[in-house]
Structure formats: C-alpha cells, structure tokens
Amino acid sequence: MELETALQSAETLLQPLAVEIKRPEPERVDVYITLENLKPAVQTLVDAHWGYLAAITGVDKPAPAVAGAAPDGDVEVLYTFANGGALATLRVRAPYTDAQIPTICDIIPAATLFERELIEMLGVDCIGTPDRGHLILPDEWPEGVYPLRKSFTGLNQE
C-alpha cells in the first residue's frame, strides 16, 4: 500500500537521527529527535522530496510546579510533513530555561510564518529566523508574555 511505503521510507530516512520512532495512528509516524538533529532531519526529508511541511505545532508542557518555584517544563515542537496520506512528525523539546530551537527557514523558506507564530505565542526562539515580527499579535503586546502558554490566563494590565 502506498501509505505504508511512504511511512516506511520516512522511517528509514530518519532512523539514524532518531531517538525513538512510534506509530501512534495508522497514517502517522512520530520521530523523536534532539535539537541538534532537527536541521539534518529536515534536510534529509527535503532532499528525498518526502512531502511538504504541513505545520509547525507548539505544545506547552509545563511540569507540575511547586507553589512559588519557577516552572520547570518545556515546549514540545512538532514539525509535521505530509506526503500523500502519510504524516511524519519530527518532535523536539525546548526547555523553558533555554527555549531556543534552530530555524529551518534556510531549508524551507515558507516556514517563516509558522515560526513567527511559534515565537510570539509560545516564546520559543527560532535562532536565525529571517523575520521576527508579530504575525497575529498586536504591535503593543507586552514583551515576554506568551498567550499560548498554560501560565497565561489573561492580560491583567489596564
């Protein structure tokens, strides 16, 4: 089946770079990788013409915090590539304490809009991204406030 071959080829391509590979759904393969391997993994997929970048999703995962202590969680970023019906997701984790990931805009220029949203909504910096302007937040939005983080419950100013 074409779906299976596509998924297999993604697995083979990413095997050397992956920490772990899972199949959560019939059409999906999840590849857990470290931050250093993000760009090589993206490059591998692009060189093999394995589909196109469908989305960059950020998921906030705050650790259960002790009252008063600084949150010690991280943000998981998912890079989903779609090839026909098959979906391959690269998963990296960026800890709150060092919320930075390398940009993939030099490999996929169209990713800039997704990265802009990630930067402003979840506070994960993409090093080297060409445009850091606000995508959907207003210009007067206060610095350092990231609406999609669980810790954000509303703007209390004014």
Contacting positions for another protein (CB under 8 A): 24-25, 27-28, 52-55, 57-60, 78, 80, 82, 84-85, 87, 89, 108-110, 112-114, 133-138, 147-148, 152
Of 27 and 125, the one with the shorter C-beta distance to another protein is 27
As a whole number of angstroms, the distance between CA 148 and CA 120 comes to 9
CB-CB contact of 61 with 55 (8 Å): no
Q: Report d(CA 3, CA 28) in Å as an integer.
A: 10
Specify the residue, 39 or 134, whose C-beta has the smaller distance to another protein.
Answer: 134
Question: Closest approach of Cβ 134 to another protein, in Å?
Answer: 6
Nearest distance from residue 4's CB to another protein, in Å? 13
